[in-house]
């Protein structure tokens, strides 16, 4: 028995009277943006292979620089230095080494910085750093740099480094207020930083409002948006709760029911990050810093959507 299915007679009328949303410009309509990538030093041989596979995959995109993180309390100092030095020796990339104030005297930090100079590294990402494992809050080392702005000044006394610092569109977790946090950023810039790279964010309006505040505060260096393509939503939720980055309810809805479906998670992650960066690009932002998590697939795809293409070898 066939049963005729009746269409809703009002459907077409709803569609005809609905709002028309202008599309975002394609990557081909805008100049390709400047990119930079962040990696972390590997803990074992398997992870090292994964890291270098990601580096080789992204290298042809010609990023401005690639940064290598520094563990809490300087826990990855040797591995960071080894990775940065190898980048300088074996690739065409410009490496940037993270350096923190935690658990070290000024001279110890300066020695690390001079070691980077000897390895041909001229770019430092200067950060206060997270407390060592087991510590509830940051306490300056008695003979060390107290804050990132002090570290920036110290680096300026050593050499003419290119210096990046951190910025927090949603406020650093330890800041007493958004105004105080913005003042900290301004002091780091005034101490000699070349640019700021933001903590990741998912609500694009938060970043754009932060840019307005930075401009009003007299900051003129680039405030480069940090972009985190999310492939493991549960993990990002936990980390975001610790670092003060908000996770919008709409994003949780998009990843709902995908805990055991990694392939679909990756596809959703690409869509979410692509919409974010294309909207920023349409708003005039032409630099992006990707937190790669030592994986290249999502970052490479998003760079392609932004109009970035591999550069010819040689």
CA distance 116 to 121: 5
3-class DSSP state of 287: strand
Are 28 and 278 spatial neighbours (Cβ–Cβ below 8 Å)? Answer: no
For residue 39, is pLDDT > 80?
yes
User: Which pLDDT score, from 0 to 100, does residue 137 have?
Assistant: 76
* More confident of the two residues 12 and 223: 223
Known active-site residue 38 = yes
Residue 245: pLDDT band (50, 70, 90) is very high
User: Which pLDDT score, from 0 to 100, does residue 19 have?
Assistant: 86
64-119 tens-digit pLDDT: 999 999 865 555 678 888 999 999 999 999 999 999 998 889 999 999 999 999 99
DSSP per residue, 150-197: HHHHHHHHH---EEEEEE-TT--TT-S-HHHHHHHHHHHHHTT-SEEE
Catalytic residue among 38, 59, 149, 170: 38
Long-range contacts of 300-303 (CB under 8 A, 24+ apart): 300/57, 300/58, 300/61, 301/270, 301/274, 302/227, 302/229, 302/270, 302/273, 302/274, 302/277, 303/35, 303/58, 303/61
**238 class by beta-carbon count within 10 Å (0-12 exposed, 13-18 middle, 19+ buried):** exposed
For residue 133, is pLDDT > 70?
no
Q: For residue 45, how many other CB atoms are within 10 A of its CB?
A: 8
Mean pLDDT of 220-227: 97
280-300 tens-digit pLDDT: 998 999 999 999 999 999 999
What is the pTM (predicted TM-score) of this model?
0.91
* More confident of the two residues 11 and 224: 224
18-27, 35-44, 96-105, 258-267 — which is least confidently predicted? Answer: 18-27
């Amino acid at each position: 028995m066939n049963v005729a299915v009746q269409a809703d007679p009002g459907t077409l009328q709803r569609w005809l009277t609905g709002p028309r949303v202008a599309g975002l410009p394609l990557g081909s309509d805008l100049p390709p943006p400047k990119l930079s990538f962040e990696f972390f030093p590997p803990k074992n041989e398997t992870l090292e292979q994964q890291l270098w596979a990601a580096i080789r995959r992204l290298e042809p995109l010609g990023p401005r620089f690639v940064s290598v993180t520094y563990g809490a309390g300087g826990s990855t100092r040797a591995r960071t230095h080894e990775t940065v030095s190898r980048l300088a020796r074996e690739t065409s990339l410009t490496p940037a080494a993270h350096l923190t104030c935690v658990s070290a005297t000024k001279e110890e930090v300066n020695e690390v910085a001079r070691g980077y100079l000897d390895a041909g590294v001229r770019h430092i990402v200067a950060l206060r750093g997270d407390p060592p494992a087991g510590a509830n809050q940051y306490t300056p080392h008695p003979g060390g740099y107290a804050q990132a702005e002090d570290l920036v000044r110290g680096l300026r006394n050593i050499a003419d480094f290119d210096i990046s610092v951190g910025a927090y569109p949603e406020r650093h977790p330890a800041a007493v207020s958004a105004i105080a946090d913005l003042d900290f950023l301004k002091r780091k810039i005034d101490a000699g930083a070349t640019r700021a790279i933001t903590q990741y964010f998912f609500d694009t309006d938060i970043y754009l409002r932060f840019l307005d505040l930075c401009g009003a505060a007299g900051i003129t260096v680039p405030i480069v948006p940090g972009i985190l393509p999310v492939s493991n939503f549960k993990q990002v939720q936990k980390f975001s709760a610790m670092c003060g980055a908000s996770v919008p309810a709409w994003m949780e809805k998009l990843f709902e029911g995908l805990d055991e479906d990694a392939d679909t998670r990756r596809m959703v992650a690409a869509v979410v990050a692509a919409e974010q960066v294309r909207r920023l690009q349409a708003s005039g932002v032409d630099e992006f810093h990707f937190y790669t998590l030592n994986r290249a697939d999502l970052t490479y795809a998003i760079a392609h959507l932004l109009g970035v293409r591999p550069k010819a070898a040689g």
